[in-house]
Amino acid sequence: MGMGVTVREKPKGSGIWWIFINHNGIRKSKRIGEDFRFANDVAKKIEAKLVLGDLSLREEKDKTFSDYAKIWKNTTIQATCKPSTRSGYISVLNSHIMAVFGSMRVKDISRRTIKQFLQNHYQQGKAASTVNQMKSVISSILNLALEDEVILANPAHRLGKIFTSKRPNESINPLTRKELAAFLNTFKKHYPAHYPLALAIARTGMRIGEAIALQWGDIDFRNRLITVQRSFSNRVIDTPKSGKPRKVDMSKQLAATLKELKKIRKRETLKNGWGAVPEWVFISENGTPLDVNNWRNRIFNKVLEMSELRRVRIHDLRHTYARLMIQAGESLVYIRDQLGHHSIQVTVDIYGHLVPGGNREAVDRLDDNAPIRTLSAPNS
């Protein structure tokens, strides 16, 4: 490669690739790692910058990851991320990333260190989505160091396979119809104030953040429709995950339950002297929106134990809804619209294996413009 930029294996036979630069009397080297293609791509980019005079090859400063994390929090995510995304990114940064990388000089952070960090968290039980979020944060912060030419390549780019195997608890884990009935009956008997929320998720497939963000104005009792137009994520109000509102059908049972809940709210308002009925449908004892983590730990998990059911997540009620809809013969198009997936492929990827005949036949049926039925969920 010209311009004095070369890629070499060091030591020979080790499988570790380095970039060596010899330009205008300045010599530099950088350990890239085991990915030759990545090392070669980086070398080409460096060579192009040298040709254009966009790379100064100045001495690397001893800036730390923490230095760039502060800049990133004040600039990058403020301009590019939704409030809920910002909150999630900052949470994983403060809770997991800073303890390992905070004091490290960015030029000392290697691809192997990052990959091992992510794999360790995955093996310790962190969800794949959380680990991917960690990777995105690390990469975005190191991009700032790359722009400053403090590092020659971003070690978080093209890390290869991080998730070596799929953990059993990451597959969808829906309840059966019988299990769901037992679960909802336990809610109704022991935690009647929280039964409407559990029923709403089970009968609509809403995400928990979407359900607790519902306001009374979102509910059309006459047409039995709910408009899902906001979501709580990390205690921040945001748009639904799809980025746009959607309307979902209510079963007769759910509509009747929410009507009764509204009457109860009016009585509570008079009793507690709130002045006006809280706009939120599902509230805490003091009239404020529910906290997801608190509800999960204090209510949801206790009901699971009392029902003597296997451990499932709140999100598995969404999967339960989809499974029961498929068993009832509903089309994947209708299920996509109810769940708010941005494409039919997402629905097929998650639930296609539950459709009799397999994914391919399910997709083929979508091309036939089969009629889409409106579901009224049976009473539990």
Query: Which CATH number belongs to the domain containing residue 70 in this structure?
Result: 1.10.150.130
- Token pair for residue 136? 């995105």
80/185 same-domain check: no
The residue ranking higher by pLDDT, 44 or 184, is 184
pLDDT tens digits, 173-219 = 899 999 999 999 999 999 999 999 999 999 999 999 999 999 999 99
Average pLDDT, the chain: 82
pLDDT tier at 344, thresholds 50, 70, 90: confident
16/127 same-domain check: no
Q: Is residue 170 part of a domain?
A: no
Residues in the chain: 380
Average pLDDT over residues 154-174: 69
pLDDT of residue 52: 54
Q: CA 97, CA 102: separation in Å to the nearest integer?
A: 7
Of the ranges 36-45, 94-103, 173-182, which one carries the lowest mean pLDDT score? 36-45
Average pLDDT over residues 266-271: 91
Element (H, E) at 29: strand 26-33
What CATH number corresponds to the domain at position 325? Answer: 1.10.443.10
**Above 80 in pLDDT, residue 167?**
no
- Token pair for residue 64? 């730390």
125/248 same-domain check: no
pLDDT of residue 252: 94
Q: Is residue 371 part of a domain?
A: no
Domain that holds residue 18: 5-52
Residue 37 contacts residue 157 (beta carbons within 8 Å): no
100/185 same-domain check: no
Q: CA 311, CA 308: separation in Å to the nearest integer?
A: 9
Q: CA 66, CA 51: separation in Å to the nearest integer?
A: 32
The model's pTM: 0.58
